[in-house]
Structure 1
Amino acid sequence: MSFTDAKTFNPDILYAFDPWNKTESQHERHSHDFLEISIMLEGQATYWFDNHWSEIQSGQILVFNPGVQHAEHQKKDTYSHQLHIGISNIALHDLSRNHLPNKAPKLEIGEYQYKIIDKAWQLVNELSHQESDYRLLGKAIIIEILVNILRGLAVRPENSEKPFISNTEKRQNQLVTNVIYYLDNHYTEDITLEQLARENYVSPAYLSKTFKDATNMSPINYLIQTRLKNAHELLKDEDTTVKQIASAVGYEDAYHFSKLFKKYYGISPSKVDEK
């Protein structure tokens, strides 16, 4: 059973960090509009989910789908070393966007838990040493973690479920996935909302609303964000000019590009290599 389309599966990694908690602390109940994976690497902590508190020990894995309320409590005289990963832009077959098919936040997936823990430590090592292209390798490791979660749930069906979504929602998910895939691979080109709508056989208004409901931004804003993220990476090369990079990501007007970049990152493009 496959949950994904390898061609279009390209999750966005919002964050990945591994804090040490050595003093008593309490985090209020909250939820996210994205997927969060929390892995207990060492020690223990108390988590609230499913309307009760649970002791989470070393080697255990939590997956919080969007909207799932949870909280964390580090008790006195205990410690924990955890890995937290925030992920968006996930579209799995027959599932709501950014959801995994786990029935409960705490995973029970046998041998796959050990594989995930091994990958988690690899990710921590990458985050710690930050060698060349560590973010790219980190993303690859996170994708491996996701695949192992899905495999574990597939062989332990009692721990998984498929939230019902209508045929309309399935079509909308596919539309958003197709548009994101196109923008990720053609962001250097001149693209308009009307063009995207025409190529997907929908109206511009329908495309804009459907895309924004799924991603919290319009298709054109997603395009701008994609261009700027790629520009940020290119700007680390000191041998290229701002004008060259603006052109490389789809902007012929370097001044307009610089204004957009500063608005998004808070610094001008010329200051990137100074940070």
Structure 2
Amino acid sequence: MQTVNHVTCEKRSYTREFTSHQHEFGQFLFPLKGSLDIQTKWQEIHLNSDYCFYIPPKLEHNYRSMDRNEFLILDIPLQYLPEDTSDMYIRLDKQWTSIRYLLLEEAKSQENLSSLVNLTRYVTNKLQISKPPSIEFIHKHYKEPIKLETLAKIEHYHPVYYSSWFKKKTGKSPKAYISELRLKEAKHLLISTEYSISEISEELRFENSSSFTRWFVKCEGISPQKYRILNNG
């Protein structure tokens, strides 16, 4: 088992043979060229330049690259990490792309370790507040029917494991999380618009206004009509 006592940021390349190990530190992998196949107990990931991947301490994983490759690796000692982190597959949006650029600059210079440490602290903080891709997907598509298998596939998890992973992340099941978002939107539409109950049920993709009303009563304890009256005073 590998250990590190200080933050390490450097470029690395990987072979075509599967290698298996775990380490006593957190690790970020940022693809620069090529791709990397990563296997954990519950995941199979083909990591390319659109994503980065965080591997928490003590997670057994296999990895290999079938093409010419180069990765920026950030090894983070335990003292810089929160008590509990889980593996995370992260889309490289503008912020994460900027982070990769700054880390690349630090890897080139290696002159000011305090700058690298400060940047690492920023990265670990962002790790805690970042939404995994499947949760981002839910926030964009919660008005539509969403299958558990679809969400699990986004994270490259087995559906059974995905449910427990999701609950650990959010404190709720995927179904409850989606229902909460829909309820929040339903309340917003009832209070801030003059949409009819039928129009709101259509907006939230219910089969009809009756099914929307039954669902709302089950969630809130009163009908949507009564909720609108009570909150429009």
TM-score with structure 1 setting the length = 0.42
Determine which structure has more spread, i.e. the larger CA radius of gyration: 2
